[in-house]
Amino acid sequence: MSVILITGGTGAIGSAVAAEFARTDDVVITYNRREQEAQRLCSELHCTAVQADVSDYASAQNAVRQVLDEFGRIDVLVNNAGIAQIKLFTDITPEDWNRVLSVNLTGCFNMTQAAVKSMISRKSGAVVNISSVWGVFGGACESAYSASKAGMIGLTKALARELGASGITVNCVAPGVIESPMNSSHLTTEELSELAEQTPVCRLGQPSEVAKAVRALAENRFITGQVLGVDGGFC
């Protein structure tokens, strides 16, 4: 039985990843403010919830320390915590820019640096980062989000080369447009329908489909440094 740490576990993708692994493994999810949702999910899946603001270095370190204290190791880290923003580039404030990058990209750095230290000592582990199709080729009016997700891809490839000799794989999943509350809150029904029409399989993706890809990358020990598009052929 492996120990799986999933950041942003209360979101659509995060909870689907938690459900995928909880069938066979010990799962820990992090949450920032949504404690009730985290506890409800953990009650359903029999997993553990840890509070963490991934954008804060000390908070990330503390979350990893709690997991190591309770379970003794972390076998898989899934960097899923993220926020989105739709704005014209000329309207983005420095505060907007810093907030998106601090959660999506710096949060990935904070959690990964904290978790891989124990993986290196054990010479075993896997990191799976949740990027986005917009991180691959960019999205109009989503420059901060696209930049943060592209940064995750660059970090994935660099760490795969650096950590491979320590028995650690590092990969990335780049979802397309997924049916989720986050997308529904930023996009209209008409916009979501248009995106579905632009997707070759003619529909939006399901969180569970992303979760299955995460599991596959976490378990295959000869795949590293890769970006797997779960996008219905969108790009």
The residue type at 65: R
Q: 145, 146, 175, 232: which one is catalytic?
A: 145
Residue with tokens 């409800």: 40
Contact indicator for 15, 42 with CB cutoff of 8 Å: no
Give the Cα separation of 58 and 2 in Å (integer): 25
Q: Is 145 a catalytic residue?
A: yes
Q: Which residues are catalytic?
A: 145
